[in-house]
């Protein structure tokens, strides 16, 4: 009765299709009131004073808070640089400076308007290349040196005052590589690439509900990606012991990296403490898009040394992450983005200088593919350019440069379960690579493009689970892994059902609640199937071991000779010698049965350690938990009069080690492709000269609608299964790799169609048209 490996229907599906699934936005508590935030209209300003008296006197207002009502602590992921409510300064438009809780959201909003904040405007700084100067025009964090920092950055003679991250890779002899390329008829290819401002734009906006108990403990309901990160963040922000904080995760309406922390939840909690009533905060869509962390832009300068035969022998990269007012969850991006510079390719020399800087815009956060999706844009476009320069087929060129199983990448990651070749060739076959696209009538042109990608899953990390076996042989899994829509609950349920040989509906999942469910690091970095999956298997093993020990005397056998499956315990090799699991839970009495004093709870912690990279060389032992692979290809249709790009065909081939739930993988392939198409073509947060977002609505920030997707017959999902030695059943995660190669695949297809390169995402019609017109003006307009 194998359940793992089958397309089991999602276990949280009934609630979701019947409207009974309760999300944070749906929670209502007795006496609950509503919070709204007063936000800064300035990108950079000193706060001279805040007068809340008018707001406090409004009927229906129950609490007003400013930074003065909160502990004076700075928060952050690894560089603690941010107050919950702005202290003396505001560093981006939309930074919260005060908060109100009132009987209705309307009253709270009106009260926020009555709060008077005196600002002294400071010149804002938006340009990352200005920001990184040793003598920048503006310094955002004057007290940076005093901040608590949990991460070592690369040594620098002098730190540019707006810099918060510096990371280097020094692998191989860079000068020799360029010299060899030049001396031996090869190529040195140098280009600048940029990514845009992208938002997770989850359908469920950020929100939380906070309630205090009379013993001074806090319960927070928030649809985030990690209840434990949320708990610890709340404890720090409000100066509480973590044991006084309980975080419960209801259904989550999408996260994609955008719901790692619960800042607004902490503000709601502070209001609730002051008002002595439960407080709910739900961000408006405009707040959600403009003031919660975004995927902020990178600038990549890449210089490659290539032999005349198209073998990559050296790569030099300088990159700047256009961070925002605070380092936030973007703190590791300048490091993680470097993973793609070698990617799946052999590189004798790799030198990287990667930086992150403060600017007066929205803070940098995580978004599906954390840095890898961004650097893939540069690297995989570069591979296409190299192939054309060397006149070698783009698939063949990539294959010629691939690592082989067991080699180490230039960032010392062992190439294990190395499936790049298989992903690439299956993807190429599906898009009929090598067969030119059909010609269309003017002004339309068709073309194909392909790209390869990786996503590493971070380490060190850990997941714990508990598995309780009930007397009816059903199993209850307690986990703090979060289902964000990706299907984690279903996969973990499948694992338990498989391990115990029981039906799916005999498994009950206890969903994240820090009062009940054990530690799990985060539903991020494609880690849930891999890490929580392993922990779940181990907890099942532990529970089965307890059962065997309990059953051994009853079966007069050695525990090691017993097996547990389908609600029975039996002697291996002689299944007729067996008892029911429920027999363990009862004691026969003269007058009948009574419950036995038995409790079967398996427990396990799966942990992956890692040797951190040296920030000055980028070298380490085995710096990541695993390395994921995938390839995507697109066939596009480009209109050279309007610049419109339509995706005609899309293929996504990803390696998941073992498809725990094949339909779930297909959902990632299609869904990730959809998000990737939006990021590639349309999604772009726009800002005015004051640093305010000008398209903060789902009307104007254009996530794809169904019409931007290819017709179903032109969508293809390919599942590659190269088992990972440490993955449960060999499995690896699928959630992020599916957006990594999308943009370069599409960009390369546009080039194939009309012969123009767009260097900066997104590839909007106006950029395509402009590039086409420039090409025509230079006399190469034949397409």
Partner 1 sequence: MKYPLSLTVNDENYDILVEPYHTLMEAIRDGIGLTGTKCACEDGRCGTCTVMVDGQLVKSCLMLGLQANKKSVLTIEGLGAPDDLHPLQAAFLEHGAVQCGYCTPGMLLTAKQLLDENPNPTEEDIRSAFVGNLCRCGVYTHATEAVLSVAGEEEK
Partner 2 sequence: MIDCHYLEPTSVSEACTLLAEHGDGAKVVAGGQSMAILLRNGLSQPSHLISIQHVTGLEDINASNEGVTIGAKVTLNRLSGIGETHPTLRALDDVVSDVADQQIRNFATLGGAICEAHPASDITVALSALHATVKLAGANGERTVPICDFVTGAFATAAGPGELLTEVVVPSFDLASAAAAHRRFALRAGDYPVVGVGAFVSLDGSGNCEDVRVVIGNCSGAPAHAQEAEARLRGNSIVGNNGALAEAGELAAAHVSPADDPMAPSEYKIDLVSVLTREALEEAIARATA
Indicate which single residue of 74, 368, 421, 682 sits in contact with partner 2 (rule: CB under 8 A). Answer: 682
State yes or no: residue 207 binds partner 2 (CB under 8 A): no
State yes or no: residue 672 binds partner 1 (CB under 8 A): yes
State yes or no: residue 607 binds partner 2 (CB under 8 A): no
Q: Which does 605 bind (CB under 5 to 8 A by kind): partner 2, partner 1, none?
A: none
What is the C-alpha separation between 706 and 150, in angstroms, rounded? 43
Residues within window 614-643 making contact with partner 2, judged by CB under 8 A: 641-643
Answer yes or no: are the C-beta atoms of 644 and 681 closer than 8 Å. Answer: no
Indicate which single residue of 214, 241, 705, 778 sits in contact with partner 1 (rule: CB under 8 A). Answer: 705
Q: What is the largest CA-CA distance in the chain?
A: 100
Tell the smallest beta-carbon distance from residue 695 to partner 2 (Å). Answer: 4
DSSP state string for 667-696 = HHHHHHHHHHHHHHHT----B-TTS-BS--
Q: Which does 623 bind (CB under 5 to 8 A by kind): partner 1, partner 2, none?
A: none
State yes or no: residue 310 binds partner 1 (CB under 8 A): no
What is the C-alpha separation between 205 and 290, in angstroms, rounded? 12
State yes or no: residue 689 binds partner 2 (CB under 8 A): no
The H-assigned helical ranges of 575-686 are 662-681
85 versus 636: smaller Cβ distance to partner 1: 636
State yes or no: residue 644 binds partner 1 (CB under 8 A): no
Q: Which residues contact 731 (CB under 8 A, 6 or more apart)?
A: 529, 530, 533, 656, 657, 658, 659, 660, 723, 724
Binding mask 707-726 toward partner 2 (x if CB under 8 A, else -) reads: xx------------------
Task: Name the helix (H) or strand (E) containing 194.
Answer: strand 187-194
590 versus 706: smaller Cβ distance to partner 2: 706
What the block records as the tokens of 227 is 């209840």
Q: Which does 228 bind (CB under 5 to 8 A by kind): partner 1, partner 2, none?
A: none
Q: Which residues contact 566 (CB under 8 A, 6 or more apart)?
A: 1, 500, 501, 502
Nearest 5°: phi and psi at 75?
-115, 170
Answer yes or no: are the C-beta atoms of 43 and 360 closer than 8 Å. Answer: yes
Indicate which single residue of 126, 228, 251, 530 sits in contact with partner 1 (rule: CB under 8 A). Answer: 251
- Give rounded-to-5 percent helix, strand, coil for the chain: 30, 30, 40
Indicate which single residue of 68, 694, 774, 780 sits in contact with partner 2 (rule: CB under 8 A). Answer: 694
Tell the smallest beta-carbon distance from residue 625 to partner 1 (Å). Answer: 24
Between helix 227-238 and helix 263-275 the angle, nearest 10°, is 50
What is the C-alpha separation between 4 and 728, in angstroms, rounded? 10
State yes or no: residue 28 binds partner 1 (CB under 8 A): yes
283 versus 581: smaller Cβ distance to partner 2: 283
State yes or no: residue 709 binds partner 1 (CB under 8 A): yes
Distances, alpha carbon 590 to alpha carbons 138, 585, 593, in Å: 85, 17, 8
Q: Which does 695 bind (CB under 5 to 8 A by kind): partner 2, partner 1, none?
A: partner 2
285 versus 568: smaller Cβ distance to partner 1: 285
State yes or no: residue 406 binds partner 1 (CB under 8 A): no
Tell the smallest beta-carbon distance from residue 254 to partner 1 (Å). Answer: 4
State yes or no: residue 644 binds partner 2 (CB under 8 A): yes
Tell the smallest beta-carbon distance from residue 106 to partner 2 (Å). Answer: 5
State yes or no: residue 568 binds partner 2 (CB under 8 A): no
588 versus 700: smaller Cβ distance to partner 2: 700
What the block records as the tokens of 341 is 């510079």
What is the C-alpha separation between 636 and 448, in angstroms, rounded? 6
Q: By CB under 8 A, which span of 245-253, 346-354, 635-643, 743-751 interacts with partner 1?
A: 245-253
Answer yes or no: are the C-beta atoms of 330 and 356 closer than 8 Å. Answer: yes
Q: Do you find a cis peptide bond into 460, omega within 30 degrees of 0?
A: yes
Q: Which residues contact 643 (CB under 8 A, 6 or more apart)?
A: 764, 765, 766, 767, 768, 769, 770, 772
Judged by CB under 8 A, the number of residues near partner 2 is 25
Answer yes or no: are the C-beta atoms of 132 and 79 closer than 8 Å. Answer: no
State yes or no: residue 369 binds partner 1 (CB under 8 A): no
What is the C-alpha separation between 61 and 69, in angstroms, rounded? 16
Residues within window 682-701 making contact with partner 1, judged by CB under 8 A: 697-699
Residues within window 21-40 making contact with partner 2, judged by CB under 8 A: none
Q: Which does 765 bind (CB under 5 to 8 A by kind): partner 2, partner 1, none?
A: partner 2
Tell the smallest beta-carbon distance from residue 585 to partner 1 (Å). Answer: 29
DSSP state string for 438-502 = PP-STTEEEEEEEEEEEEEEESSEEEEEEEEEPTTS-EEEEE----SSS-HHHHHHHHHHHHHT-
What the block records as the tokens of 63 is 């609490």
DSSP helix/strand/coil, 590: coil
Indicate which single residue of 16, 87, 109, 170 sits in contact with partner 2 (rule: CB under 8 A). Answer: 109
Q: Which does 760 bind (CB under 5 to 8 A by kind): partner 2, partner 1, none?
A: none
Residues within window 449-488 making contact with partner 1, judged by CB under 8 A: 484-487
Q: By CB under 8 A, which span of 25-33, 40-48, 534-542, 546-554 interacts with partner 1?
A: 25-33
Task: Name the helix (H) or strand (E) containing 776.
Answer: helix 765-777
Tell the smallest beta-carbon distance from residue 648 to partner 2 (Å). Answer: 16
599 versus 766: smaller Cβ distance to partner 2: 766
What is the C-alpha separation between 405 and 415, in angstroms, rounded? 5
Q: Which residues bind partner 2 (CB under 8 A)?
A: 106-107, 109-110, 641-644, 682, 686, 694-695, 699-700, 702, 704-708, 764-766, 769-770
Q: Which residues bind partner 1 (CB under 8 A)?
A: 7, 9-10, 12-23, 25-26, 28, 200-205, 251-254, 256, 284-286, 484-487, 663-664, 666-667, 670-675, 697-699, 703-707, 709, 711-712, 715
């Amino acid at each position: 009765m194998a359940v793992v490996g089958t397309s089991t229907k999602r276990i949280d599906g009934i609630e979701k299709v019947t409207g009974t699934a309760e999300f944070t936005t749906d929670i209502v508590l007795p006496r609950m009131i509503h919070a709204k935030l007063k936000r800064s209209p300035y990108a950079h300003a000193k706060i001279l004073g805040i007068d809340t008296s008018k707001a406090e006197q409004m009927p229906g207002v129950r609490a007003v808070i400013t930074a003065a009502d909160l502990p004076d602590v700075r928060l952050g992921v690894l560089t603690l640089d941010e107050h919950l409510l702005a202290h003396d300064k505001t560093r981006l438009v939309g930074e919260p400076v005060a908060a109100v809780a009132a009987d209705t959201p309307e009253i709270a909003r009106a009260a926020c308007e009555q709060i008077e904040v005196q600002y002294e405007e400071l010149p804002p700084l938006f340009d990352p290349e200005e920001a990184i100067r040793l003598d920048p025009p503006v310094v955002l964090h004057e007290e940076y040196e005093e901040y608590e920092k949990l991460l070592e950055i690369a040594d620098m003679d002098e730190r540019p005052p707006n810099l918060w991250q510096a990371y280097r890779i020094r692998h191989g002899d860079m000068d020799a590589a360029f010299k060899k390329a030049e001396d031996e008829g090869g190529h040195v290819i140098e280009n600048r690439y940029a990514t845009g401002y992208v938002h997770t734009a989850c359908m469920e906006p950020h929100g939380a509900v906070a309630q205090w108990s009379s013993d001074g403990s806090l319960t927070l309901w928030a649809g985030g990606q990690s209840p434990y990160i949320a708990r610890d963040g709340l404890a720090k922000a409000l100066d509480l012991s973590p044991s006084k904080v309980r975080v419960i995760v209801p259904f989550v309406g999408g996260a994609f990296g955008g719901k790692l922390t619960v800042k607004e939840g902490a503000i709601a909690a502070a209001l609730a403490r002051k008002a002595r009533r439960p407080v709910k905060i739900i961000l408006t869509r405009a707040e959600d898009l403009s003031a919660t962390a975004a995927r902020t832009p990178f600038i990549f300068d890449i210089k490659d040394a290539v032999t005349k035969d198209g073998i990559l022998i050296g790569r030099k990269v300088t990159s700047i992450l256009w961070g925002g007012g605070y380092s936030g969850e973007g703190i590791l991006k300048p490091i993680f983005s470097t993973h793609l510079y070698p990617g799946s390719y052999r590189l004798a020399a790799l030198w990287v200088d990667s930086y992150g800087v403060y600017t007066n815009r929205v803070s940098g956060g995580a978004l599906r593919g954390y840095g890898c999706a961004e650097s893939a844009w540069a690297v995989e476009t570069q591979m296409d350019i190299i192939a054309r320069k060397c006149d070698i087929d783009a698939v063949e060129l990539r294959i010629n440069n691939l690592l082989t199983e067991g080699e180490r990448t230039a960032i010392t990651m062992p190439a294990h379960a190395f499936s790049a070749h298989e992903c690439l060739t299956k993807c190429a076959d599906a898009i009929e690579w090598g067969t030119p696209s059909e010609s269309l009538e003017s002004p339309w042109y068709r073309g194909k493009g392909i790209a390869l990608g990786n996503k590493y899953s971070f380490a060190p990390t850990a997941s714990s689970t508990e598995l309780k076996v009930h007397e009816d042989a059903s199993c209850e899994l307690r986990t703090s892994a979060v289902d964000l829509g990706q299907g984690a609950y279903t996969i973990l349920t499948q694992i338990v059902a498989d391990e115990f040989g029981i039906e799916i509906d005999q498994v009950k999942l206890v969903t994240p609640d820090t009062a009940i469910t054990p530690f799990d690091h985060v539903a991020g970095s494609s880690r849930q199937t891999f890490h929580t999956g392993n922990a779940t298997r181990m907890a099942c093993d532990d529970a089965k071991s307890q059962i065997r020990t309990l059953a051994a005397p009853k079966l007069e056998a050695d525990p090691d000779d017993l097996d547990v499956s389908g609600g029975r315990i039996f002697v291996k090799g002689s299944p007729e010698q067996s008892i029911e699991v429920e027999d363990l839970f009862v004691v026969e009495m003269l007058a009948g049965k009574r419950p036995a004093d038995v409790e079967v709870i398996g427990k396990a912690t799966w942990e992956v350690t890692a040797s951190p990279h040296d920030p000055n060389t980028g070298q380490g032992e085995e710096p990541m938990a695993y390395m994921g692979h995938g390839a995507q290809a697109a066939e596009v249709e480009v209109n050279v009069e309007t610049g419109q790009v339509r995706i005609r065909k899309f293929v996504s081939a990803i390696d998941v080690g073992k498809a725990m739930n094949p339909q779930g993988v297909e959902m990632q392939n299609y869904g990730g492709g959809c998000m990737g198409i939006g990021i590639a073509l349309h999604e772009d947060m726009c800002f005015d000269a004051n640093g305010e977002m000008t398209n903060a609505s789902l009307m104007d920030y254009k996530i794809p609608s169904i019409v931007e997707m290819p017709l179903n017959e032109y969508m293809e999902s390919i599942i590659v299964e190269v088992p990972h030695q440490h993955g449960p059943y060999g499995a690896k995660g699928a959630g992020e790799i599916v957006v990594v190669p999308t943009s370069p695949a599409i960009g390369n297809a546009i080039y194939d169609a009309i012969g123009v390169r767009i260097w900066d995402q997104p590839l909007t019609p106006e950029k395509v048209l402009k590039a086409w017109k420039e090409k025509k003006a230079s006399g190469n307009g034949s397409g």
